Amino acid sequence: MEIIRSSRNNIPVLQLKGRFDAHEVEPVHAWLGEQVKNGNLKIVVNLEGVNFIDSTALSTLVRGLKLCREKNGDLHVCSLQQPVRVIFELTRLDKAFDVFPTEEEAAKGF
Amino acid sequence: MVVLLHNIMETVNLKSAGFGSNPILEAVIRMFGNIVTRFILKADWVAVTIPKYVEILEGKYGAKNVLLAPHGSFEEPTKSEPNPMPGGCPTVMTFGKFGTYKTVDLLVEAHAVLLKKHPDMRLVIAGTDSPNAAGYLQGMREKYSHVPNVEYTGYVAEEEVPRIFGEAWVVAFPYTSTTGSSGVLHQAGGYGKAVVLPNLGDFAELVLEEGYDAEFFEPASADSLAESIANVIENPERQKEIGLRNYTAANGLPITEVVDWYLIHFEELLKKK
């Protein structure tokens, strides 16, 4: 999986590409923890390039969401491909996360 | 209120579960199952661990409050490295309560096939009879008394579980019908073990959804089961690959994180109320 770290309007953005599963979560987990530790409590995760996501990967995002919200921040996800959207819908995490069609809207949505 | 529904009536094979010998009884059980399911669906959220269950509950009952949730592992993440290749003689282990949809006859027959090539191979049947199948394992012990190197452990005390899993080269799941997500699979993953699973839809989905790997066998075929076990015990690279992958999958989602997942849904509910 490819991981691209960037920012948009001073909001840290993590863009993921490829298969996001149990074997790929560690750097994402570390990045989310680092952002929260540094006081960046508004975070965007761009899943545009993700074609598969498993429950461990989703759980990593849930953990990130929890960390942010505990400190009155939030984690927005955006640009879900159809297979990933289906998983978000099946798990109802589309109701728990704020999901945006584009990265720009996700960054503006805080 | 959030309910976790581990199994649904629609996917349970009542014959395999020991309740299907009488068609009238089966119909009555299914009718009550439907009523109970409708009652359960009154909860705010009903969580299931298999994607197909969401489709069934939404399709048959028109439910709009069903969600998919991960099973997670009851084992705490281990600090030490997993040991998918414990050495000693090749040991196949199965763990559970047997006699309904978890049966061992196919496994003993597969073991008999494998003994021709691996005469030192052990088969460990760890666990007890299902409450609905009293005497099952004693019956199997008598029926297959001619097959050597089969050990029936009976009840396994908690402190013995690490040794039982630790000695296994491969953990077998001789299930005859679909069940929900398997706690034993998560346990096996926690010990970094390779597994052989029946080619049943639920398990295949679970493997994909939760990052596990396995060798699959055709549910009614001892030869297919023997071949799957051989694919593991005769192929150390594959044994290691499956074991480490399962270890990662099991440790990737401990039950504490599953709890976080549920708490997120609770928060949403509380916001609405």
Per residue in B102-156, pLDDT tens? 899 999 999 999 999 999 999 999 999 998 889 999 999 999 999 999 999 999 9
Q: Which amino acid, B216?
A: F
Contacts of A65 in chain B (CB under 8 A): 264
ipTM over 0.85: no
Q: Is the Cβ of B106 closer than 8 Å to some Cβ of chain A?
A: no
> Which pLDDT belongs to residue B75?
58
Read off the pLDDT of each residue in A43-66 and give the average, rounded to a whole number: 93
Q: Which amino acid, A61?
A: L
Q: How far apart are alpha carbons B126 and B172 in whole angstroms?
A: 11
> Which pLDDT belongs to residue B120?
95
Q: How far apart are alpha carbons B137 and B120 in whole angstroms?
A: 23
Contacts of B249 in chain A (CB under 8 A): 22, 56
The answer to whether the Cα torsion of B203, B207, B208, B214 is positive or negative is negative
Backbone angles phi and psi of B186, in degrees to 5: -65, -35
| Nearest-by-Cβ selection for B268 from A66, A91, A95 | A95
> Which pLDDT belongs to residue B42?
94
Report pTM. Answer: 0.70
Q: Is the Cβ of B259 closer than 8 Å to some Cβ of chain A?
A: no
Q: Are A33 and A67 in contact (CB under 8 A)?
A: yes
